């Protein structure tokens, strides 16, 4: 009856029913476990953790899987490995079999290198991943030759040739012969994809001239400068060998332009900077923007943008709204100094103080930056801003009186501030979303008032250092340390923009509610900030499979209003565990943290935190 049913379907639809994969059997693999080999296969059934959805049987993919397994064994030194694949189909399901004959495992015994002038033998061995007395990996060796040629390009050796000869006996001896070639110079530059009238905007961004040695770093910096104009959606700089010359190249610059005028909109769930003094908060929001990328056929940009954000973990009943009108350019009076000038208006919510419905902030901002590389920069920002709240009543004055503070209430209605800030940001992580090694250094200094004028005078310093180290291929230790201090802050001032330091929430101390690591209990758990802050976060990140990870973490911090108490204070801390789900936009995390309160740790006091991207 079943066969008849299949025949009827085949007759109607003209195709056979898909064949499900029931099992995969691998035999003869004495040195490499099946658990290690299974993730390499395209043809396999669903796994128990539901992280892989089984595929339908395909004979062509089966042969490709056999080839993949063979290459994997070769990469482990089994150069004579033989793998035979077969299958058995019954009742519309397939059982797959791989029979492995490993053969002898070969180890690297010696490496001989000749012809190298600019790289040492040790450097070449490291680039090619050749380690004596370890299994010989011919697959990786062939892949790393290109990387060696790229390293030689930094010495203007663009047309090097590399010959590799493995000699196989009881072990493997590798002979490497390098011909670095002549130094290469830049001859001419050709621009494709734009009008001749626009070419001047390109020429001034280039950091080389005809006759210079070919330098990949200079070429990459020129490419980055072109992208920073905001005009081009695609930028490529390609060296092309000059005919009948071994030492000259022409540079071909290929460009695609964005639309000069367009509407842009982005929305989703991501960290949003709600206040200047706080870490970004997980929020649901987005923006809509109109942009003119080339005013009067220059590389100057004009934009107007409206942003809305709903913080996920706060009691804010109103969203954060912001409207900007901005102008930015990379060149001022013939000097390249990327500058943006913008006017802004935004509404802020003063946390957990119901009598202040909202705070309005508006003003002018000028930012200037110098990029060191793709993610590292120096930046200075000058701001003139005004604050104004909608309600100031007897309740606020009573709150201030209860703190024994003399408050000048006349400054609450219309407060003006002027500030100048500097930031050095060095991001040396290997990956911006999933770092496994490297570090991040950030130092921020802000001076408000004094010679700039305004109604408040104070200075702020915030230092942050992150480091990442791989323990195994699937585990990473990540550590963050933050130190901050305010000078000359008047305790009578209402902290509209959270310039003081606060702890608590999914962005720092996960065992406490947002901002509420330190509170005034007699004022309804109103958050209290500090003049001094210390924060440390330690995470042990384990990637279980391609999409799922586990995170064991520890957060510690100190907040204080004076140096003596800061030095003597005990470190408040929490510990916890979390799950991470990998996405193309970075990890999504779900953390459960338990705080240590009054010399006791109680799981029932734990907090659940939901966030996007790693904490740091």
Q: Average per-residue pLDDT in the chain?
A: 86
Q: Which of 257, 281, 312 is the last residue of a domain?
A: 257
Overall number of domains in the chain: 4
Do residues 61 and 143 share a domain? no
Question: Which positions ≥6 away from 498 have C-beta within 8 Å?
Answer: 275, 276, 277, 278, 515, 529
Do residues 352 and 437 share a domain? yes
Do residues 363 and 505 share a domain? yes
Do residues 505 and 599 share a domain? yes
Residue with tokens 């190298």: 116
Residue-range definition of the domain harbouring residue 368: 261-612
- For the domain that residue 441 is a member of, what is the CATH number? 2.40.160.50
Q: Which of 179, 199, 231 is the last residue of a domain?
A: 179
Q: How many CA atoms lie within 13 A of 515 on its CB side?
A: 24
Q: Which of 257, 276, 302 is the last residue of a domain?
A: 257
Residue 357 has pLDDT above 80, yes or no: no
Alpha helices in 204-295 (DSSP H): 216-228
Residue 165 has pLDDT above 60, yes or no: yes
Question: Which positions ≥6 away from 186 have C-beta within 8 Å?
Answer: 208, 209, 210, 211, 212, 213, 214, 239, 248, 249, 250, 251
Do residues 372 and 498 share a domain? yes
Lowest mean pLDDT among 103-117, 135-149, 508-522: 508-522
Do residues 145 and 199 share a domain? no
Read off the pLDDT band of 523 (50, 70, 90): low
Do residues 364 and 430 share a domain? yes
Do residues 8 and 48 share a domain? yes
Do residues 78 and 166 share a domain? no
CB 367 within 8 A of CB 337: no
The reported pTM is 0.79
State pLDDT tens for residues 275-318: 666 777 777 888 999 999 988 878 889 999 999 888 776 555 56
DSSP string, 272-339: E--STTS--EEEEEEEEEEEES-GGGSS-EEEEEEEEEEESSS--SS-EEEEEEEEEEEEETTEEEEE
State pLDDT tens for residues 471-506: 998 999 999 999 999 999 988 888 877 889 999 888
Mean pLDDT of 337-363: 77
**Number of other residues whose CB lies within 10 A of the CB of residue 184:** 24
Phi, psi (rounded to 5 degrees) for 469: -140, 130
Percent of the chain with pLDDT over 70: 88
CA distances from 420 to 278, 423, 602 (A): 18, 11, 45
Mean pLDDT of 240-265: 93
Do residues 238 and 368 share a domain? no
State pLDDT tens for residues 307-330: 988 877 655 556 778 999 999 999
Do residues 198 and 133 share a domain? no
Residue 4 has pLDDT above 70, yes or no: no
Lowest mean pLDDT among 63-72, 92-101, 399-408: 399-408
- For the domain that residue 7 is a member of, what is the CATH number? 3.10.20.310
Do residues 141 and 196 share a domain? no
């Amino acid at each position: 009856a079943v066969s008849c049913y299949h025949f009827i379907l085949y007759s109607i639809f003209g195709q056979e029913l898909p064949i499900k994969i029931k099992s995969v059997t691998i035999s003869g693999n004495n040195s490499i476990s099946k658990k290690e080999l299974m993730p390499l296969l395209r043809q396999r059934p669903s796994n128990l953790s539901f992280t892989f959805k089984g595929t339908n049987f395909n004979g062509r993919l089966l042969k490709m899987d056999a080839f993949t397994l063979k290459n994997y064994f070769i990469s482990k030194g089994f150069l004579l490995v033989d793998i035979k694949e077969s299958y058995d189909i019954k009742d519309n399901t397939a059982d797959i079999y791989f029979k492995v004959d490993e053969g002898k495992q070969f180890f690297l015994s010696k490496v001989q290198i000749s012809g190298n002038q600019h790289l040492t033998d040790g450097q070449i061995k490291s680039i090619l991943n050749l380690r004596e007395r370890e299994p010989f990996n011919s697959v990786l060796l062939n892949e790393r030759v290109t990387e060696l040629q790229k390293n030689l390009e930094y010495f203007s050796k663009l047309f090097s040739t590399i010959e590799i000869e493995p000699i196989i006996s009881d072990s493997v001896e590798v002979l490497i012969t390098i011909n670095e070639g002549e130094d290469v110079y830049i001859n001419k530059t050709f621009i494709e994809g734009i009008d001749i009238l626009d070419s001047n905007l390109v020429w001034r961004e280039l950091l080389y001239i005809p006759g210079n040695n070919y330098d990949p770093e200079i070429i990459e910096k020129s490419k980055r400068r072109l992208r920073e104009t905001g005009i081009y959606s695609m930028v490529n700089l390609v060296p092309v060998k000059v005919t009948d010359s071994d030492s000259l190249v022409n540079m071909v610059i290929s460009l695609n332009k964005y639309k000069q005028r367009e509407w842009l909109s982005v929305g989703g769930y991501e960290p949003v900077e709600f206040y200047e003094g706080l870490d970004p908060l997980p929020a649901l929001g987005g923006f809509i923007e109109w942009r003119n990328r080339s005013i009067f056929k220059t590389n100057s940009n004009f934009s107007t943008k409206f942003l809305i954000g709903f913080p996920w973990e706060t009691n804010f009943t109103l969203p954060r709204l912001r409207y900007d009108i901005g102008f930015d350019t990379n060149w001022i009076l013939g000097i390249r100094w990327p500058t943006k000038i913008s006017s802004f208006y935004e509404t802020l919510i003063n946390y957990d103080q119901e009598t202040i419905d909202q705070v309005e902030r508006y003003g002018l901002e000028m930012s200037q930056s110098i990029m060191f590389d793709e993610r590292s920069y120096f930046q200075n920002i000058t701001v003139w801003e005004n604050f104004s709240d909608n309600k100031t009543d007897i309740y606020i004055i009573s709150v201030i009186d209860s703190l024994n503070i003399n408050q000048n209430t006349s400054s609450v209605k219309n407060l003006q501030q002027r500030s100048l800030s500097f930031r050095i940001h060095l991001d040396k992580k290997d990956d911006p979303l999933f770092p496994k090694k490297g570090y991040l250094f950030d130092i921020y200094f802000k001076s408000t008032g004094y010679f700039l004028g305004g109604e408040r005078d104070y200075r702020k310093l915030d230092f942050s250092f992150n480091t990442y180290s791989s323990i195994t291929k699937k585990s990473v230790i990540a550590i963050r340390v933050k130190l901050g201090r305010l000078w000359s802050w008047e305790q009578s001032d209402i902290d509209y923009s959270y310039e003081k330091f606060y702890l608590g929430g999914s962005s720092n101390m996960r065992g406490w509610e947002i901002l509420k690591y330190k509170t005034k209990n007699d004022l309804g758990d109103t958050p209290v900030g500090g003049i001094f802050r210390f924060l440390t976060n330690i995470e042990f990140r384990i990637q279980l499979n391609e999409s799922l990870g586990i995170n064991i973490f520890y957060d510690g911090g100190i907040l204080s209003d004076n140096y003596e108490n800061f030095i003597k204070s005990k470190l408040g801390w929490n510990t916890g565990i979390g799950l991470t789900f990998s996405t193309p936009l970075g990890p999504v995390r779900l953390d459960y943290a338990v705080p240590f309160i009054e010399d006791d740790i109680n799981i029932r006091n734990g907090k659940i935190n939901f966030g996007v991207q790693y904490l740091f």
